[in-house]
Amino acid sequence: MSVKIYIPGDSGALAVGADKVAMRMAEAISARDLDVEIVRNGSRGLYWLEPMVEIETAAGRVAYGPVKPSDVEGLLAAGLLEGGDHPLCLGTTADIPYLKRQTRLTFARCGITDPLSLEDYRNHGGLAGLTNAVAMRPEAIVQQVTESGLRGRGGAGFPTGIKWKTVLEAEGAQKYIVCNADEGDSGTFADRMIMEGDPFVLIEGMAIAGIATGATKGYLYTRSEYPHAIRMITRAIEIARQNNILGPSVLGSGHAFDMEVREGAGAYVCGEETALLESLEGRRGVVRAKPPLPAHKGFLGRPTVVNNVISLASVPIIMDKGADYYRDFGMGRSRGTIPVQIAGNVRYGGLFEAAFGMSLGELVDDIGGGSATGRPVKAVQVGGPLGAYFPREMFDTPFDYEAFTAKGGLIGHAGIVVFDDTADMLKQARFAFEFCAIESCGKCTPCRIGSTRGVEVIDQIAAGIEPEKQKELVADLCNTMKFGSLCALGGFTPYPVMSALTHFPEDFRPVPMSQAAE
């Protein structure tokens, strides 16, 4: 049997040269006439170690990284194929502390399997959830998902089971499952990793959602900025169709479910579920007023489940291991695990899936290792461009939906962006308004006009023109946006702005003229 070498095909690995490493490895292998198979797996999510090469040995997989193309010859000479010692050797992959400390439920297979091998998928527990689901009544599936405590991982945190129940009970000849894979928040890449590293788990989750609600058609709406993910999920759907995981009779159950991929066109606001539905229908991505809820009148006015990638990808393990198994992880009303994405100016950036409840400080300092530049961490933004900036004094906040809300922030899609002490929080507040102005769909006034006015007022503060008066104006404007906007884009832009202003007031004091002139 040939030896297997794993070199990730995840875009995060490709961005730092994984293809070149794979090419050099293939050349070296063929020059030596070795019986070796190169598998392009997903990423384990240890991005500072990418490209991370793994070799399968009798004692488990051994990792090396970060590997450059020029390291390949040296690695082979050092006995790479037997897991030989080398300065880049990281030991047994499973024992790397960053991985060992995680609880990988949703990401159980990501980085381990060949993403397009259904055999790998089955061998690692795949399809067990769907197999259970097809033997159950829809009400029972919905019940199990409800009891698991799973809440929407896109950011809103709405109980997934309740949403499914609404669609199940809605009248309609045609219902839909729409997967929101429009992962536009800076600092997040969990959806991308699943689509590239374990696409079958998402397909399985969608099929279960379809059977549970009576929806026979699914759409996955993702970003044009994710071409690799689109390629992988599209191929995985074809494979799933050939193997009766999708089609007129899912796993021979008589339930029909099929799905297709739709590509967005560079509009951040389409991550908002109603704007997404408009876009999917072929219109401008303009937000709809709710009610009616998408569960009643969604895609083409028909009952529609709109769920985030991670919500759907967490369903198979719930259907496999049971609601209790999943619910037993976590804290308070935040049950199960959350794949936290640690990013930006951080030493150990990557994906860290753990039960809810870890403190922000543990994630940033302990797991993330502080800033990449080695300078003190000044602030972290949690939850994307609409999330609050947290100062070090608030690092004791546990990762939990309610705890973050209580601190004037949000978990969002669980991305953490770390900034060192060179960050200028006035500039970050200005960017929050600027981004809102660029991406506003234009439907409601507080967002459309407020964002542009916000940039202007911040510029006045920076210029030292009546700064105290301007700060009051910013607070007033944020209040209007928060309570007067139709969706989270205008409604949550105040989070980064006000948190920057509240927690970092020193950055909003204009530099005295004499000093500025020097």
Q: Which spans of this chain sit near other proteins (rule: CB under 8 A)?
A: 11-12, 14-16, 47-48, 50, 183-189, 191-192, 224-229, 262-268, 279-286, 299-300, 341-346, 349-351, 372, 381, 385, 415, 417-420, 423, 428, 431, 435, 438-439, 441
Across 243-255, b (16+ Cβ under 10 Å) vs e yields eebbbeebbebeb
- Burial of 136 by CB count in 10 Å (0-12 exposed, 13-18 middle, 19+ buried)? middle
Q: Which residues of 139-152 are buried (b: 16+ CB within 10 A; e: fewer)?
A: eebbbbbbbbbbbb
Which residue, 262, 400, 256, 416, is CA-closest to 335? 400
Q: What is the DSSP string of 133-172?
A: HHTS-HHHHHHHHHHHT-B-TTTT--BHHHHHHHHHHS--
Tell me which residue has tokens 């102005």.
437
Least gap, CB of 171 to other proteins (angstroms) = 20
CB atoms within 10 A of CB 73: 14
In angstroms, what is the minimal distance from the CB of 122 to other proteins?
28
CB of 193 to other proteins, least distance (A): 8
Considering the complex, state which of residue 326 and residue 348 has its C-beta at the smaller distance from other proteins. 348
CB atoms within 10 A of CB 135: 9
Q: At closest approach, how far in Å is the CB of 191 from other proteins?
A: 8
Q: Which residue, 329 or 435, is less far from other proteins as judged by CB? A: 435
Q: At its nearest, how many Å lie between other proteins and the CB of residue 316? A: 23
Unique residue bearing structure tokens 């960017």: 431
Q: How far is the CB of 292 from other proteins (least distance, A)?
A: 18
Q: Could you give the CA distance from residue 375 to residue 87 in angstroms, rounded to a whole number?
A: 27
Note the Cα 77 to chain centre separation in Å.
38
Nearer to other proteins, 123 or 224 (CB): 224
Structure tokens at 57: 């040995």
Compare residues 18 and 323 and give the one whose CB is closer to other proteins. 18
The closest of 376, 391, 378, 420 to 502, measured between CA atoms, is 391
Q: Which is nearer to other proteins, 14 or 313 (CB)?
A: 14
Cα 260 from Cα 245, distance rounded (Å): 14
**Packing angle of the helix pair 445-462, 467-484 (nearest 10 deg):** 160
Residue whose CB is less far from other proteins, 161 or 285: 285
Nearer to other proteins, 108 or 276 (CB): 276
CB of 298 to other proteins, least distance (A): 12
Least Å from the CB of residue 496 to other proteins: 9
> Which is nearer to other proteins, 314 or 440 (by Cβ)?
440
Asked if 134 and 251 touch (Cβ cutoff 8 Å), the reply is yes
Minimum separation from the CB atom of position 386 to other proteins (A): 11
Nearer to other proteins, 188 or 311 (CB): 188
Residue with tokens 């951080």: 346
